[in-house]
Amino acid sequence: MSPLDRSSDRAIYRQIADDLRADIRTGAFGPGDRLPSESDLVARYGVNRRTVQHAFGLLIAEGLVYSEHGSGRFVQGRPPVRRLASDRFARRHRRAGQAAFTVDMEQAGRVYDPRNDVEMLDLRVGAPPDRIEDRIGDGPVLIRSRRYIVEGLPLQLATSYVPLDVAEGTAIMSADTGPGGIYARIEENGHRLTRITEDVTVEVAAEGVQRLLRLPVGAPVIHLVRTAYAGERAVEVCDTFMNATAFELSYELPAR
């Protein structure tokens, strides 16, 4: 730890954040370690508690640290999962019985078991919300909301919308969609997928999302809307919120 430079242009809270960041990067504090408490740092630097909190606010926003009320602040673990968009939907994976998320986690070397680590939040027939209706039409759809938990941390919320006539009579209607996931069932039902689009934005997590992903207030999330087409028809829209610090999205484009 370096002493504070009170005469510096750099704000005190930033200097403290710099110190802690350096300690984490050099490995003085490893993943999962508890960082010094607010009162420790107040004593060490001779500053106010709010100033220490301000410093932690930065590190938390950076995804380097997380806070547990009543317990302490800890170094965030694992690096991002690389999500190979152009490979994860490959038919060969579906044939091998693997859904896309499982492919990602396996390639990232994470411990993930689709039988235990997916929570069904909602499963019903209904009308699509407005911004999904633009993509999939206004007929009745099957709505599947689920939360993916990896190594104890919720990484992703996904809500799939499938036109009822596409889903009906398949395992898409039930909690367990079977090997290869939704896309395998859609293709078995006679809709051969031709192309998939993904639209990616970065947003600050709304309150529901923030709570379900166990994120700090103000944390960014990746909002990804995927649309799968069979010919000209959209046969699935998947609305996904991902922990922004936990993923790297990887795409391959043709150079037409």
Partner DNA sequence: AAGTGGTCTAGACCACACG
Partner DNA sequence: GTGTGGTCTAGACCACTTC
Place of tokens 């859904």: 99
By CB under 8 A, tell whether 212 contacts a second copy: no
Place of tokens 């209706």: 133
By CB under 8 A, tell whether 90 contacts a second copy: yes
Using the minimum distance from each CB to DNA, give the nearer residue, 64 or 200. 64
Q: How far apart are CA 115 and CA 119, in angstroms?
A: 9
Residues between 138 and 167 with contacts to DNA, criterion CB under 7 A: none
Do the bridges between strand 233-243 and strand 153-163 make them parallel or antiparallel, or are there none, so unpaired? antiparallel
Residue 254's binding partner among DNA, a second copy, none (Cβ under 5 to 8 angstroms by kind) is a second copy
By CB under 7 A, tell whether 197 contacts DNA: no
Q: Return the residue of 1, 28, 120, 217 that touches a second copy, per CB under 8 A.
A: 217
By CB under 7 A, tell whether 12 contacts DNA: yes
Looking at beta carbons, which pairs linking 75-79 to residues 24 or more positions away fall under 8 Å? 75/24, 75/29, 75/30, 75/31, 75/32, 75/33, 75/35, 76/31, 76/245, 77/31, 77/32, 78/31, 78/110, 78/151, 78/246
Query: Cα 77 to the chain's mean position, in Å?
Result: 15
Q: Return the residue of 69, 115, 124, 256 that touches a second copy, per CB under 8 A.
A: 256
What lies within 8 Å, CB to CB, of 147 at 6+ separation is: 118, 119, 121, 154, 156, 157, 212
Residue 220's binding partner among DNA, a second copy, none (Cβ under 5 to 8 angstroms by kind) is a second copy
Whether the CB-CB separation of 124 and 143 falls below 8 Å is answered with: yes
Minimum distance, C-beta of residue 217 to DNA, in the bound complex (Å): 6
Interacting stretch for a second copy, rule CB under 8 A, among 109-117, 153-161, 170-178, 200-208?
A: 200-208
At position 171, the amino acid (one-letter code) is A
Interacting stretch for a second copy, rule CB under 8 A, among 1-9, 114-122, 155-163, 199-207?
A: 199-207
CA dihedral 101, 168, 134, 221 (to 10 degrees): -20
By CB under 8 A, tell whether 72 contacts a second copy: no
Residue 67's binding partner among a second copy, DNA, none (Cβ under 5 to 8 angstroms by kind) is DNA
How many residues sit in the footprint of DNA (CB under 7 A)? 26
Minimum distance, C-beta of residue 56 to DNA, in the bound complex (Å): 7
Other CB atoms within a 10 A radius of the CB of residue 117 amount to 20
Task: Name the residues that contact a second copy, by CB under 8 A.
Answer: 14, 57-58, 61-63, 80, 82, 85-86, 89-91, 193-204, 217-218, 220, 222, 228-229, 244-245, 247-256
Task: Name the residues that contact DNA, by CB under 7 A.
Answer: 11-14, 35, 37-40, 46-51, 53-54, 56, 67-73, 217
